Structure formats: C-alpha cells, structure tokens
Chains A and B, each alone.
Chain A
Amino acid sequence: NAGVTQTPKFQVLKTGQSMTLQCAQDMNHEYMSWYRQDPGMGLRLIHYSVGAGITDQGEVPNGYNVSRSTTEDFPLRLLSAAPSQTSVYFCASSKTGASTEKLFFGSGTQLSVL
C-alpha cells in the first residue's frame, strides 16, 4: 500500500540551483497536484494535472514547472531556486479530481533554499 510517494524527504539548495521533486502514485489516479505549505499557513496549490499530458496552474505557479508524461508520475521542477521557495511541498492525487473524491497526500518534501 504505497499510495503517494514523494522523494526526497529533505533537500537543501543554494540560490539559483535547480532540482526536481518527485511524486509517484500507484493507485491509477488520473488527478495529481502539488501544494506548498509555508510555516503556520495552509496549503497553496502550485500546479495540477487531470491526466497524462495535461497540466494547469494553481494559485502560486511562478518559479515551478511540471509535466505529466505518465499516469503514475508528476514531478515538480524548480528551475532556479530562490529563498522564497523554502517550504514544505506536498503531492496529492485522486481518481479523477471530481468533487466527491478525497485527495490522498504524500508525506511531503521539506525544502530549504539558502
């Protein structure tokens, strides 16, 4: 019962570095999404996807890229990391994204940008 798996759990970057946060799910879910959570705040939606080859922007997409080449994987790319991107990142998925479905969340990636 892997569910939603995120790697790495922790990452430290220097300003300007690039990296990819990985997210994989084994539930055959069409809908996947990325959130960030800053200290003391709720989660904010970065990008989401309703199926392979389809992505869209959420509330805070700037500085992040995504692609969805397979149903299972939805990587989040930081092209040039900035200190403002220090946050905890959560990936979530559901069957189709319909209103009556619950989201399954990964355990998060804690990212620090120095």
Chain B
Amino acid sequence: DAKTTQPTSMDCAEGRAANLPCNHSTISGNEYVYWYRQIHSQGPQYIIHGLKNNETNEMASLIITEDRKSSTLILPHATLRDTAVYYCIVKSSSNTGKLIFGQGTTLQVKP
C-alpha cells in the first residue's frame, strides 16, 4: 500500500470549513483513499473513502485530485466535537481488511 503524508497538526475556527490535506504520490490504480478519525482515546471512526471521484456523505467531503496523488478531507462546518486526530490511509483492493495507519493530523477546532 502507498504511504501517505499529512501535516502533524492544524487549527480551525468553529463554524468554518476544515480542509485536511493528504499526499499519496505513489498511489496505484487499485488503491482507495480512506479517512478515519480518532477522538481522544476512543476507537477510530470511519469518515469517508474514495477511489478517484469526489465523494460526499453526511460527515464530510473527499476531494481527490485528477492524478490521484493527493486528496483533501473537508469538514464543512467544524464544531468543537470535530477536534480529533484524522488519519488518511491508502488501501489496495487486493489487501484484505488491513489498514496501515500513519501518525495523522491533529485537528484542533477553536471557539
């Protein structure tokens, strides 16, 4: 699975959009981009995933560049409860189940 690079930390004002970048320059054609988050010491929580098209669900939007070498997770209206560590993970379609976590981005939402 390709490696990912994320900023160590980011701040966002409450109510504003939080844009979390992720670089995955070595991604291959059959690899999906996943985002999970971990609030405090809880178990990670799935947010969204995509292959090459932009995706949106009730939690967030995922924008994947045309060359698929990077992506951005967008939380449209961040709240204090969105303060968490956000993990960007690339996973091969042939790699059953295994998620390789990096160190993620610590997002601090401030009032």
Contacts and interface: CB of A to CB of B under 8 A. Distances in A.
Contact of B42 (A35, A58, A100, A107): A107
Interface residues of A, number: 31
A41 B44 CA distance: 13
Contacts of A74: none
A102 B44 CA distance: 11
B98 A108 contact: no
Q: Which bracket fits the contact residues of B? A: 20 to 34
A42 B104 contact: yes
A45 B98 contact: yes
A29 to B, nearest CB: 10
A42 B102 contact: yes
Contact of B43 (A44, A59, A92, A97): A92
A110 B99 CA distance: 21
Contacts of B93: 98-99
B111 interface: no
Max chain A Cβ within 10 angstroms of own Cβ: one of B32, B96, B103: B96
B105 to A, nearest CB: 11
Nearest to A50: B96
A99 B103 contact: no
A95 B34 CA distance: 17
A48 B97 contact: yes
A101 to B, nearest CB: 8
Interface of A: 4, 31, 33, 35, 40-45, 48, 50, 58-59, 88, 90, 92, 94, 96-100, 102-108, 110
Given A35-B101, A48-B98, 12 more contacts: A31-B96, A44-B101, A45-B99, A45-B100, A90-B44, A96-B96, A99-B32, A100-B49, A102-B46, A103-B36, A103-B46, A105-B44
